[in-house]
Amino acid sequence: MMREMNHGDDKIPKDHPRYQSLTFRHKIIEGMKELVVAEAGLIAHGRGECFDYIIGEQTLETAKKAMKAAVALLLISKKPVISVNGNVAILVPDLLVSLSKVIPAPLEINLFYRKEGRMEAITKVLTKAGATRLLGIDESHMVEIEELSSNRRIVDLHGIYQGDCIFVPLEDGDRTEALRKLGKKVIAVDLNPISRTAIWADITIIDNIVRVMPEMIKIAGELKQLGKGELKKIVDEFDNKKNIQETLNMIIEYMKAQKEEAFRVLKNK
């Protein structure tokens, strides 16, 4: 008998062509009910799905290159920090904890929407996934970044505030720009290759966070064998601007092929 995933009254049959995608969608919905995900997180996820579609729901070679440079940069940084929002916490909690341990880099909860109860809900999810130390939750350690006006300006003194390299998956607006102005290196994961975050980051990984995390953990295991000099070489040789341009070209080529295929089906139906 075919196994099904039960989400309340809705069952996703395992043989559904979009089973994986629907499973993540339901995680986001359940996460919203538990306050982990902001209401706007549902819309952000849908936007992500749309961009994922136009890269063929696959990890492109350019994303792999960016991930390698990102891991190398995290490994050579003195105070790397992994910033966690609601969407990421619900989609990849265990993998966040694993990456945090392998680098090592602390997890800091940093939210755009600071609705009451969300910090606690996200803390619960991450603790259940094995996190032993979480930043961003102790009010007495919180300071503000003047360059930012959104809630994201509230950061942990021992985390993002002092950090030299910040990993920001699924980001909104202008934080990347502000962090860079403060002299920090920023690594972004964003399915939208032309978002402000993607354009402003030092290293932009254009891929779905659910595919990025396992790959980065694997790469970290490999790169940890290298010396600082070799890691620095990987970072120095990476050209983010060129990588984004190549990704955009790959998207155009993929869409052209999709168009041909759609025309062929339309003609023959």
Nearer to ligand PTJ, 5 or 119 (CB): 119
> Residue 26 in contact with residue 5, Cβ under 8 Å?
yes
Is 44 a residue that touches ligand PTJ (CB under 6 A)?
A: yes
Query: Under the criterion CB under 6 A, does residue 192 sit at the interface with ligand PTJ?
Result: yes
Instruction: Point out which span in 15-23, 99-107, 188-196, 221-229 binds ligand PTJ (CB under 6 A).
Output: 188-196
The residues in 77-106 that bind ligand PTJ, with binding defined as CB under 6 A, are 85-87
Residue 164, strand partner residues: none
CA neighbor of 155 nearest in space, from 208, 108, 206: 108
- H or E element, residue 174: none
Binding-site member from 27, 31, 32, 38 for ligand PTJ (CB under 6 A): 38
Residue 143 binds ligand PTJ, judged by CB under 6 A:
no
CA gap 79, 189 in Å, rounded: 19
59 binds ligand PTJ (CB under 6 A): no
- 170 makes contact with ligand PTJ (CB under 6 A): yes
Q: Which stretch binds ligand PTJ (CB under 6 A): 61-69, 111-119, 217-225, 252-260?
A: 111-119
Alpha carbon distance 199, 195 (integer Å): 6
Indicate the residue among 115 and 228 with the shorter CB distance to ligand PTJ: 115
Identify which of 241, 217, 220, 196 has the alpha carbon closest to the alpha carbon of residue 75.
220
CB-nearer residue toward ligand PTJ: 41 or 106: 41
Q: Which tokens hold the place of 87? A: 């969407």
Non-local CB neighbours of 64 within 8 Å, separated by 6+ positions = 215
Give CA–CA dist 81/104, Å, rounded: 9
Mark out the alpha helices in 56-181 (DSSP H runs): 61-76, 86-91, 93-102, 118-128, 175-181
Q: How many CB atoms lie within 10 A of CB 19?
A: 13
Q: Which is nearer to ligand PTJ, 108 or 231 (CB)?
A: 108
Q: Check binding of 113 to ligand PTJ (CB under 6 A).
A: yes
Q: How far is the CB of 225 from ligand PTJ (least distance, A)?
A: 28
Least separation in angstroms between CB 163 and ligand PTJ: 17
Using the rule CB under 6 A, is 189 a contact of ligand PTJ?
yes
Nearest approach, Cβ of residue 228 and ligand PTJ (Å): 30
Task: Based on the shown chain and the rule CB under 6 A, indicate whether residue 190 belongs to the binding site for ligand PTJ.
Answer: yes
Query: How far apart are CB 83 and ligand PTJ at their closest, in Å?
Result: 9
Residue with Cβ nearer ligand PTJ (112 or 254): 112
CB-based burial, 236-268: b 16+ in 10 Å, e otherwise: eebebeebbebbeebbeebeeeeeeeeeeeeee
Q: Tell me which stretch binds ligand PTJ (CB under 6 A): 170-178, 217-225, 237-245, 246-254.
A: 170-178
Tokens 């490999």, located at residue: 222
Which residues form the interface with ligand PTJ (CB under 6 A)? 38, 40-41, 44-45, 47-48, 51, 85-87, 111-113, 170-172, 189-192, 195, 208-209
